[in-house]
A and B are shown apart, each in its own frame.
Chain A
Amino acid sequence: MKPKPLKLMGSLIIGTLVLSACGSGDSTDSSDTTVSPATSDAVGDGGTITVYTGRHYGIEPVFAQFTADTGIEVRFTTGNDPELRERLIAEGANTPADVIMTADAANIELSAAAGVLANVNSDILTETIPAELRSDANNWFSLSQRARVVIASTERVENPPTTYAEVGNPEWQGKLCLRPSTHPYTQSLVASLIISEGEERATEIVRSWVDNDPLYIDSDTDIYNAIANGECDVAIANTYYLGRLLTENPAFPVEIVWPEQDGRGTHVNVSTAAVTANAPNPEGALALIEWLATKGQQQFSDANFEYPADPNVKPNEIVAGFGEFTADLAAVRQLGNNQPAAVKVLSAAGYQ
């Protein structure tokens, strides 16, 4: 037989396909499109919008209410933030997505950097969402805040840490629970440390946590339960999980401590939404985000026990029971840019 021509043909085909696939893989389309609200606000035949959402907990009833209010049907798919971002970037001009929603500021910022988000011109959004919680270009908007706090056992801890740095105090040696660095919440917390304290100091702080030989648990709920079960005494976790746990057991023996109240404020991350640069239905997309920021703001935030992005909307009763706090809003828009540095710091400090 003559294997040579076959080999040649094989390598030719491989070559062409690889090249064509690679050549176009990363190209993205311009994001200079600006979306403005539709002039008519007719309810009824609003068409359909498609949403990629990395936040899926309790989102469906919110969309259903939006459809009832506006007549715009919502078709959505769920997924992890980074994967949805990759999909949006890969699809480019062909994307069916009108809106992308994330559970994390860094991921939406990375989408913005890739040029797949549209700049939005909306008075409603600029009036309701504080400037710290939306991008300069107005190409993404926070809809709710999630605070990452120190939590402590109400039974065993008298003086819990009041700053993130104090979590690294030797008294918590062997008594600390943390979420692994694979999770965006950990990454964005460290990004906020870098923003306010600099990379060097941030590395020191993270190293002091690591020196306390923390137990890494990849679930905030399980971290709360670990404290309740006596596996650890203090931890860093998001508040809204406590909201869920308290609805099941009002006597849950874990308390929230608001860190950094004498300084920059508690680290908050945000749930965000953006109109995509190539949205087939940009007006419908904007209508959803505006609705979520206004009429749907309460329902959206309460669905997951989060803090509304609009300061004029009161948080859910259980959430309000956690007390008032100062949030580190200044850092929110820089979380995305500092996330790669945070990953580096976490690695350098030996954080699991």
Chain B
Amino acid sequence: MAIMITDTVDSNDSNNTTDSKDGGAARSSTVSVIGRQTRSWTSIAVISAIAVALSVPVLVIVWSIVSPSTEVWQELWATRLPGMIRETAILLIMVLAGTLVLGTALAWLVTAYQFPGRRVLGWLLVTPLAIPGYVLGFVWLDTLEGPLGARGVRSIWLCALVLTITLYPYVYLFARAAFREQSQRAVDVARSLGCSRTKAFWRVVLPMARPSLAAGVALVGMEVLTDIGTVRLFNVSTIADGVLRVWFGTGNRDAAAELAVVLIGVAIVLIAAERLARGRARFTQSGSRVGLHVERLRGARAVSASAIGWGVFTVAVALPIYRLITWALEAQRTDQTSTVSGDLGFHLMSSLRVTAVAVLACLGLGLLLAAGLNRRRASGSLLARLTTLGYTVPGPVVAIGVLVTLAAVDRLGWLPGGWLLVGSFIGLIYALVVRFLAVAYYGIEASITKVPPSVVASARTLGAGRFRVATRIELPLAGAGIIAAAVLVAIDTVKELPITLILRPFGTETLPIWVWQATSESLWVQAAVPSLAIVTLGMLLVAALLWTLERGAETVS
């Protein structure tokens, strides 16, 4: 017999896996307390107001299609738009396919096989999350310019490759969690029916993981659609790039906003596709669990498994960090390790302050919404969709939406002492919440609905009140998932540039701002120190994320 998965500690938050396809219909939200109980109109009004307040900046943008700028559209159709759509589609398809294959394959490798370095690779393969695409982009552009030439390096293929190695961890994380939740029993049944191990993977394991894979791929899709920094480096003209092109080039904000609406449309299609891929399948777990058996690889196969894992890590993380370190040393030598605003410590504190407050805000609001919205109802689902709009448009567009919204509030003069929201710390946090709340909300929501309905039902039967069930059962059981969601928000916020750039208050100069100040003048060496600091922070957060996921799984059992 193969060895049991030792570092898998998933357990009975997912009691055990069976592939009951109908179990889900009856599951979770019908029983779960959070997100379900009858509420007073006051609380419904409060929740709705929050959801709406968070979606106004994007709705302001959407509003622009009411009076379309026909002339601009005609010109765009005749010139750039077909190319933009083509390049966006090609990039999207390549990156989605690339991350799906790479993420799933790596997750399967570290879940189902034992080979040297497996445990540490299981962790390290998540770390590309720590490196912002705009940093990885300029490092790779510079590195590959030597062998490929300045012309060869600027291609949609390399852009797709860079995005794939930055973004595959989203799929990897989801896939690994899905594989770990699965039971050996299903595989055993398949094998007893004559499937080989490989065939069992394709016929049983992979189909059962489909909902998780779809969720990971959908996240990747959002990131690709809204990326601007990386695609520009590689001369790829996507729709997101087009939004800024129209807006900055012609000053026509309405036309730019209309193009952004196209982007929201594509994002909605992507989400719908994810729902479709998930289908009606709900895989709940029951009974005592037996995790997937792990096969020990030997000889050449073990070596190649190691080599694949380390190879991906080297390309995605080790090499870029090595380049950053050499540049940082040069920066040290030439005394370029601080800016006019302050030294590393100053910028670090700025970043930490913004990130900490943004994460707390996202967490609080995410919990409130998860508790208050019942997504099984059309109204709840609509409000949930509204709050997540900000995640479907590029950062600069969110920033302008927020700017216009807050300036409108400032104009009303309702705030005491002539205090203004634009350029305030609160204003910046609000914008970041608009952009990243989706990450927190869906993470929290998903982990709460994962709490076994039977547990909640039992507690209720035994006389526990709703509040008690929520605080004593649901939150603790979902705790790890909630912290993981918070850490994901932190990782996004630490890397965030366009919103901070436009809305930051005086004296708040985060690390990405420092990177921007250097790279916008092509001073790559000057960008090394802040880039390295961002990557370090990201690495710590990724470690926290993994630790939370592991520990969360343990404590529940």
Contact = CB atoms under 8 A, between A and B. Distances in A.
Interface of A: 1, 3, 5-7, 9-10, 13-14, 17-18, 20-25, 27, 50, 56-57, 60-61, 75, 77-80, 82-83, 86-87, 90-94, 96, 110, 177, 180-182, 184, 187, 215-222, 226, 229, 231-232, 241, 339-340, 343-344, 347-348, 350, 352
A344 B379 CA distance: 43
Interface of B: 38, 41, 44-45, 48-49, 51-53, 55-56, 59-60, 63, 75-76, 78-80, 149-151, 154, 232-233, 235, 237, 241, 244-253, 340, 377-379, 382-383, 386, 396, 399-400, 403-405, 407-408, 410-411, 420, 422-423, 501-502, 504, 506, 513, 517, 520-522
B79 A231 contact: no
A352 B235 contact: yes
Given A10-B379, A94-B407, A347-B79, 8 more contacts: A3-B379, A7-B379, A25-B407, A87-B502, A180-B232, A216-B235, A219-B522, A232-B150
Given A13-B48, A24-B408, A90 B403 contact: yes
Given A78-B517, A340-B251, A60 B340 contact: yes
A82 B501 contact: no
Contacts of A79: 501-502
Contacts of A7: 378-379, 382
A80 B249 contact: no
* Chain B interface mostly: helix
B150 A215 contact: yes
Contacts of A77: 504, 506
Contacts of B232: 180, 182, 218
With a 10 A CB-CB cut-off, give which of B55, B386, B410 has the most chain A CB atoms. Answer: B410
Contacts of B80: 347
A10 B252 CA distance: 31
Contacts of B422: 87, 90-91, 94
A56 B520 CA distance: 10
Contact of B149 (A82, A91, A231, A352): A231
A10 B235 contact: no
24 contacts: A7-B378, A13-B48, A14-B56, A14-B59, A18-B56, A18-B60, A21-B56, A61-B340, A75-B506, A77-B506, A83-B399, A90-B407, A91-B407, A91-B410, A94-B407, A94-B422, A110-B251, A181-B245, A184-B248, A187-B249, A218-B232, A339-B250, A339-B251, A352-B237
A107 to B, nearest CB: 9
Contact of A18 (B59, B504, B521): B59
A82 B248 CA distance: 6
B408 A20 contact: yes
B405 A21 contact: yes
A211 to B, nearest CB: 16
B340 A86 contact: no
Contacts of A339: 249-251
A21 B404 contact: yes
Contacts of B420: 91, 94, 96
Contacts of A80: 248, 501, 520
B56 A17 contact: yes
A92 B411 contact: yes
A143 B56 CA distance: 40
A10 B48 contact: yes
B235 A180 contact: yes
A346 B149 CA distance: 26
Given A75-B506, A83-B396, A83-B399, A10 B382 contact: yes
B241 A182 contact: yes
B403 A86 contact: yes
Contacts of A25: 60, 404, 407-408
Contact of B52 (A3, A17, A216, A344): A17
A56 B379 CA distance: 48
A22 to B, nearest CB: 5
* Chain A interface mostly: helix
B234 to A, nearest CB: 10
A231 B151 contact: yes
B494 to A, nearest CB: 20
A218 B233 contact: yes
Given A17-B53, A78-B517, A96 B423 contact: yes
Contacts of B75: 344, 347
A94 B411 contact: yes
With a 10 A CB-CB cut-off, give which of B38, B246, B403, B513 has the most chain A CB atoms. Answer: B403
A340 B377 contact: no
A61 B339 CA distance: 12
Nearest to B39: A1
Nearest to A348: B79
With a 10 A CB-CB cut-off, give which of B59, B248, B396, B411 has the most chain A CB atoms. Answer: B248
A77 B75 CA distance: 35
Contacts of A82: 247-248, 251
Nearest to A10: B48
A22 B67 CA distance: 13
B253 A56 contact: no
Contact of B150 (A86, A182, A217, A241): A217
A201 B379 CA distance: 57
B250 A340 contact: yes
A57 B521 contact: yes
Given A21-B405, A92-B407, A347-B80, A83 B502 contact: yes
Nearest to A344: B75
A340 B408 contact: no
Q: Which 3 A-B pairs have the closest CB atoms?
A: A60-B340, A221-B522, A347-B79
Contacts of A50: 506
Contacts of A57: 521
A92 B246 CA distance: 23
Contacts of B411: 24, 27, 92-94
B249 A215 contact: no
A7 B382 CA distance: 9
B502 A216 contact: no
Nearest to A241: B522
Given A94-B410, A180-B235, A21 B48 contact: no
A182 B249 contact: yes
Contacts of A219: 522
Nearest to A186: B249
A300 B522 CA distance: 20
Nearest to A221: B522
Nearest to B383: A10
A182 B248 CA distance: 8
A110 B76 CA distance: 22
B141 to A, nearest CB: 9
Contacts of B502: 79, 83, 86-87
B447 to A, nearest CB: 25
A352 B212 CA distance: 38
A6 B379 contact: yes
A231 B150 contact: yes
Given A18-B60, A21-B405, A86 B400 contact: yes
A110 B383 CA distance: 38
Contacts of A241: 522
A184 B250 CA distance: 10
Nearest to B407: A90
